[in-house]
Copies of this chain bind each other. A is one copy, B any other.
Amino acid sequence: MRPTVHDIAAAAGVSLATVDRVLNQRAGVRSVTREKVEQAIERIGYVRDVAAANLAKSRVYPFIFILPAGDNSFMRGLEAQVRAAIARSPVERTSISIVSVPAFNAEALVAALDEAQAAAPAGVAVVAIDSPDVIAAVNRLRAARIPVVTLVSDLPGSQRDHFAGVDNVAAGRTAGSLMGRFLGGQSGSVAVLAGSMLVRDHRERLDGFRAVMDQDFPGHALQPVLEGQDDPAQVERLIDDLLTSQEGIAGIYSLGAGNRGLIAALKKRAGKAHICVIAHELTPHTRAALNDGLIDAVLNQDAGHEVRSAIRVLKAKADGVAVFGAQERIRIDIFLKDNLPFEQDAAADTPLDRGSNQEPAQGEED
């Protein structure tokens, strides 16, 4: 059997209460006694049973998720995943609230962060905007000893505890590599469509993409970056303009959201020469476009995994325990029309056992 607090107490010749004080670094123990207990812990190799501890404490973790509002399939999917986590709350001992803020608005985000701090939660997850004010607000949270995890878009200059998202530079590089190879010998320039250079993930993807294109595929000139604010209507206009004003566009890299607009614009030129399109995030729209051959590849980050990972990490940080790195690494999924996962009920995130007997096997996630 694995050693318990009783064993420590016996080994150190003290009572349970004293052991507990040492374990939870509370005051009221002579340093000699503390010493004794710590050695006993070391000696018998004690590791705390977190489940039992949580039971005794009736612990619940109040978390706040701050997400951008707006008509953006990916973000709405992310929110659905948070809601799914809320549904699991009783089992996971969490109590999660969602705060919605206008997209690409640093001021509003700062206000939301400060408000979150006032609520004194056990942790905050936030889709960051890269600005000094936001960094300062995050650091205030940390100064108040509230764990912070950035979600999807990181904030490297800050004291955030962890980033639950993909390596966006690598994602951009991958997009560049695929673009270059898919274009093969063809000539023509390549356009880049972003949401906003305010958010770090978009900037990083652009950097990665540009680096690979410049170095490995210099034959394809890059057009100036278009910023569509992740707004479908605006994106559609931008792409319409691009395709009518420019000749010889061989590829488009859409590194943000608002792909609905892009797809609408592409549909209008059915019959003309194929443009190689690489986009981000698997949504009902990009999935359909992939199947139709309008989009050649989709790079995806699994929103469900990101949310679950953020929660696991926030819990770990709140408890001051180490997180298990390998489990929290968010992958860049590359989807061609050949490896699309079977469609799932958007938010439902069915607890059914796919890949099980009875139901058809089909490969799984996390």
Contacts and interface: CB of A to CB of B under 8 A. Distances in A.
Interface of A: 1-2, 47, 49-52, 54-55, 58, 90-91, 154, 156, 159-167, 170-171, 173-174, 176-178, 181-182, 184-185, 208, 212, 302, 304-305, 308-309, 313, 322-334, 336-341, 344, 349-357, 361-366
A118 to B, nearest CB: 24
Contacts of A159: 357
Contact of A322 (B167, B353, B362): B353
A77 to B, nearest CB: 12
A323 B182 CA distance: 39
Contact of A351 (B52, B162, B167, B325): B325
A161 B361 CA distance: 10
Given A2-B90, A350-B326, A333 B331 contact: yes
Contact of A364 (B304, B327, B333, B350): B327
A2 to B, nearest CB: 5
A59 to B, nearest CB: 11
Nearest to A3: B90
A363 B333 CA distance: 12
Contact of A170 (B90, B182, B308, B339): B339
Contacts of A51: 51-52, 54-55
23 contacts: A47-B90, A51-B54, A52-B55, A156-B361, A159-B357, A163-B355, A170-B338, A173-B338, A177-B338, A184-B184, A309-B364, A322-B351, A324-B351, A325-B350, A325-B352, A327-B366, A328-B365, A329-B354, A329-B355, A329-B364, A330-B363, A330-B364, A334-B334
A325 B185 contact: no
A326 B349 contact: yes
A4 to B, nearest CB: 11
Contacts of A324: 351
Given A177-B336, A322-B353, A330 B156 contact: no
Contacts of A365: 325-331
Contacts of A351: 322-325
A329 B341 contact: yes
Given A173-B339, A174-B338, A162 B353 contact: yes
A133 B160 CA distance: 55
A167 B329 contact: no
Shortest 6 CB-CB contacts between residues of A and residues of B: A329-B364, A329-B365, A184-B184, A173-B338, A328-B364, A327-B366
Nearest to A328: B364
A46 to B, nearest CB: 10
